[in-house]
Structure 1
């Protein structure tokens, strides 16, 4: 079934975006449902053993799974195969909304805490720890890789002609959705993750990376907005003629989305990074103050002992 048939060749509308679509390519929605089930099972196991798990992490992860099912399994996915603006919405949702929510759910920490340490669980833990400590993981999460990934995900994908070639295959749309989600996780994890990562990025580096990401979104959005010809020829002929979609105008809308919708979550990450940095500095200042107070108290105690010894020596000489 083609995407046009799936949506009944009707012009795009909000109610059509949310309708479930019968498709043989519901790969990501199925995976998201399975991940949600496994995550809830892990939380339940922790609670049964008397361990606490933050409800906010659970809410973030389950919301991300729900959004994956909607963005890649509802009508919006079918329209995304026909219009560049909606395809860009899918890309941005997967990269800068869903990926951060998945990371904030701390699935790595839940895996380490909820997986049994015997039988198959022990094997899963060993594989997870080996992957976490590998050189590949350290390289993939290096802060210097953030900007190249962003440039490739936007300028390289569209202006390099990759999207135009891949989208012509039936599996191309799904493949790009998977790539968007993985790239989003790799970009987001060093910035907001609480999981035990193989490397930790300093807060100044996180601020710098988020700032540069915002510039990439703005630059790409402006280029798309003012391009006079279709950047991706595939979308120029994908939508039915009855919809009267202007490919250049639709491309401009995609650019506006990249500039606005793409930057709002980054701004939220910037605020979260600033808040965590301030909280860390406050905690460090408190530790330093306590250490200084302890040192001062120890020094005062030392002076008191010296004074007591001096008074004892004077009393012995007088007697």
Structure 2
């Protein structure tokens, strides 16, 4: 791993400095190239593909490459605040940008429907509809995973043990990215998922998740000793106070983690409103064309009651 020697400042944090094995930046480049290849294939073939979806996915890939391919990654090996910023970005900011790009739909549309492409399409569609994927997207798995990525990792000492090695460090970063994607997919994805939650169910999931990192941030800010022993002794040349750095990390978890969640919440409310409006319009159109069978039957029932009340013979029987 590469560790910087100069004290951290904005210039050092954002300076391009790839690790000896830049695994996650390479993943970001591969995703970017694959997505753009699919989008260009559709455009060249005269098919439509949303420019806004493309901008969203490309932005997510670029953010992933930058956050994991500049000085932030080196300082993240010794500063809890930098590592927390990377975690929140990987879990809360990058996934919505990637998912709003609808990469699953693009894969199904851009892959040739013959030869090897047919096999890829079938495998992709099977993966999207598989029982295993359904389990991964279930809130009963995702909410405990979110709890583990904050409270379980840091308060149990597991993070300190894993961060000792490059494999553990990068493995945690991949865990953050994957868990963020799995949590965000059922909320805002337009791809063909195995199960579609109701709008109310999605809002409940968001409201359950929102306080998780906020409360964790409060715990970090109130602690009087380093909670993560791995970050208790940053390099002397950095001139970083571990407790002040931990306080800043808690502030990030409390504040920065809320902004992407709020955006997701607004997206959910907007889609709920559009869906209800569309259903109301379709119902009105059906009523105009075919009437409302239930309402017509009820009106007919009332009409019969009224005729029976006006009929003298019926009145005599009564």
Structure 1: distance between partners of 2:173 and 2:63? 13
- Structure 1, unaligned stretches of length 5 or more? 300-319
Distance 1:297 1:272 in 2: 33
Aligned to 1:312: none
Q: Which residue does the alignment assign to 1:209?
A: 205
Q: Which residue of 1 aligns with 2:304?
A: none
Distance 2:7 2:274 in 1: 49
Ranges in structure 2 where 5+ consecutive residues have no aligned partner: 297-318
Per the TM alignment, residue 242 of structure 1 is displaced from its structure 2 partner at its CA by: 3.1
Map of 2:83 onto structure 1: 87
Shift of 1:23: 2.5
Aligned residue in 2 for 1:143: 139
* Residues 6-60 of structure 1: per-residue CA shift (max 9 Å, x gap): x2x2111111111111421211111111111111110111112211000011001
**2:10 counterpart residue number:** 14
Q: Is the 8 A contact 2:7 2:239 kept in 1?
A: no
SS in 2 for 1:113: helix
The residue number in structure 1 matching 2:231 is 235
Deviation digits for residues 119-144 of structure 1 (CA, Å, limit 9, x no counterpart): 22112112112212221100011133
* 1:183 and 2:179 matched: yes
State the TM-score, normalized to the length of structure 2. Answer: 0.89
The equivalent residue for 1:293 is 288
2:199, 2:272 within 8 Å by CA — same for their partners in 1?
yes
- Aligned partners of 2:246 and 2:133: how far apart in 1? 36
Residue range with higher mean Cα deviation, 25-34 or 288-297: 288-297
Which deviates the most, 157-166 or 88-97? 157-166
Partner of 1:123: 119
Distance 2:26 2:276 in 1: 42
Q: Is residue 259 of structure 2 the alignment partner of residue 264 of structure 1? A: yes
Q: Which residue of 2 aligns with 1:108?
A: 104
Deviation for aligned residue 1:164: 0.5
**Correspondence 1:296-307 to 2 at 5 A:** 296=291
| Corresponding residue of 1:39 | 35
- Within-5 A mapping of 1:145-184: 145-184=141-180
CA distance in 2, matches of 1:242, 1:32: 32
Counterparts of 1:63-78 in structure 2, within 5 Å, are 63-78=59-74
Check 1:147–1:22 CA distance in 2 against 1; reply closer, same or farther (3 A cut). closer
| TM-score after normalising by structure 1 | 0.89
For residues 110 and 297 of structure 1, the distance between their equivalents in structure 2, rounded to whole angstroms, comes to: 39
Q: Secondary structure at the match of 1:171?
A: helix
Q: Distance in 1 between matches of 2:253 and 2:271?
A: 27
Q: Deviations over 1:228-263 (max 9, x none)?
A: 1211101112x2123332212211211111110001
| 3-state SS in 1 of match to 2:192 | coil
CA-to-partner distance for each residue in 1:74-133, whole Å, 9 max, x for gaps? Answer: 111111111000000000001110011111111000000000112221121121122122
Equivalent residue number for residue 305 of structure 2: none
Query: Distance between the aligned counterparts of 1:220 and 1:294, measured in 2?
Result: 56
Cα distance in 2 for partners of 1:185, 1:129 equals 18
Contact 1:68 1:98 in 2 (8 A): yes
Note the C-alpha offset of 1:297: 9.7
Pick aligned residue for 1:278 from 263, 273, 280: 273
Aligned-CA RMSD value: 1.6
Number of equivalenced pairs: 295
CA distance in 1, matches of 2:178, 2:6: 32
Aligned residues of 2:59 and 2:97 also touching (Cα < 8 A)? yes
